[in-house]
Chain A
Amino acid sequence: MKRKIIITASLLVATLIVIIQSCVSTKVTDKSGNQLWSENCQRCHNTPPSSAFTNIQWEIVNTHMKQRAMLTDEEYKKILDFMQQGD
């Protein structure tokens, strides 16, 4: 139990430090598809490059991620737009 607390606490402290380091707040509405793509996909797995799929495939993949990762509607639209342009 003690070990658990120590490990979690030190991870939290480390996390807090880096958060403070990197705190820049821009509204999601003001962000580009490119930025949303680079910030969001990496939360769960490596970010796929836009060359990985065709436009139709991107539509399916992003719809899947909208459902699975609960991306907001705006994120979904902007990211999809960005991925499809890069094709």
Chain B
Amino acid sequence: MRTKIFITLLSFSLIASASHAQQYNEELIDSLIKSKAQAQVARNSKFLISGYTNMTARFSKDESSFSNISLVPILLWKPSEKILVEAELETGLEGSETSIELGYADVSFFVNKYLTIRTGKFISPFGIFQDRLHPSWINKLPTFPVGTGEDELGVGPTSEIGVDFRGGVPLGTAKMNYSVFLANGAQLITDPAEPEKQGTLTYGNAEAISKKLTAGGRLGLLPFSNSSLELGVSYRTGNVGDKNSTYKNVGAQMYAFDLTYVHQLEFIKGLFDVKAQYNKVNVDKAAYIDPDDQTGNTPYTFDNKRSSFFTQAAYKPTMLQNKFLKKAELVFRYAEYNPPDGAKDADDIKQYTYGLNYWFTWRTVLKAAYQSQKDNNVFFLQIAVGF
């Protein structure tokens, strides 16, 4: 936590000093005063408080409840032409516990047309779900696809602390985008007190867990001039074992493929939206203390490779005249999670989610969804509002 605050403060003071230095280059005192006054006005006003809030009700055979209430404020600040500060605080109420987490806090420098440098804590550019689709006013269903979250079933990074080089590049009638980062390593969980988590990773750590930094990135290609299709590949590699432990040489390589297709189609009178992502995480083989072994002397090991996948299709009849139907949306999503064979509590999960949404505005939505996953069938109602 202290490191997070430190990084944030450091970033803020960097910007402050950079914009000050610029102002002292003015020759005339008059224009200096004037420009300073203008800068002050501009600096103060280029603020935007944005974010989202949501409330979910869940109904299943055994229980019904209102749960998962969250409020996520986002602060955006553009202190000068070339700088943007973004910070997100995720607050939530799950059961009787209130959680507050720093979603992201970073500073972006727009270096030139093709390069933006971002530093701080940022959402990992690994696939598309976390980076682009997870806010509840964007996510078309009330749940995350299994395998994309921050829980022990998460396959792949959600956030990073480090520096990221990114940009969009036109290629004639096509275009591409890239995001390449250096960040703190993920952390391998080895604790036998949490057997179901042994061999999994946590991301976005502020401490130096491994000796070296982790590198990764994503490359996206939009082959058509109407930007309807995007194909992306992501990769991330680095050590994940604690540098002071026997796990210090354990590394992890991960990759993802993603697809986005969004287009308004005359013959179905509406917007057709397809998203898909495949994640794979390979952690080097390591021996873990077996919680089931009374003596504690026989470690166990397994081939630590896990993957997840989801594909989602949505349809919204945007071209109909009917004011009500125009704002309705049908969604289907299939998701699966494949844990490594031999890990504790490792079960495959296949998840089917069917949704019907009603969009009051472009970012206020009522979602109804039915999710079926083995013996666990749940009906959800969610209200999500972006602001």
- Interface, chain A (partner B; CB < 8 A): 3-4, 7-8, 11, 15, 18-19, 21-29, 31, 39-40, 42-49, 52, 56-57, 59-61, 63-64, 66-75
Contact = CB atoms under 8 A, between A and B. Distances in A.
Given A22-B228, A64-B76, A57 B48 contact: yes
A51 B276 CA distance: 32
Given A45-B363, A57-B48, A70 B309 contact: no
A69 to B, nearest CB: 7
B173 A28 contact: yes
A73 B50 CA distance: 23
B225 interface: yes
Q: Interface size for chain B: under 10, 10 to 19, 20 to 34, or 35 or more residues?
A: 35 or more
List the 6 shortest-distance A-B pairs measured between CB atoms, nearest first. A70-B177, A46-B362, A73-B113, A72-B168, A70-B168, A25-B173
Contacts of B215: none
A44 B132 contact: yes
Contacts of B133: 44
B110 interface: yes
A32 B113 CA distance: 19
A57 B47 CA distance: 8
Contacts of B167: 70
B78 interface: yes
Given A27-B225, A28-B173, A64-B84, A70 B230 contact: no
B193 to A, nearest CB: 34
Contacts of B114: 73
Contacts of B272: 18
A8 B169 contact: no
B46 A70 contact: no
A42 B270 CA distance: 12
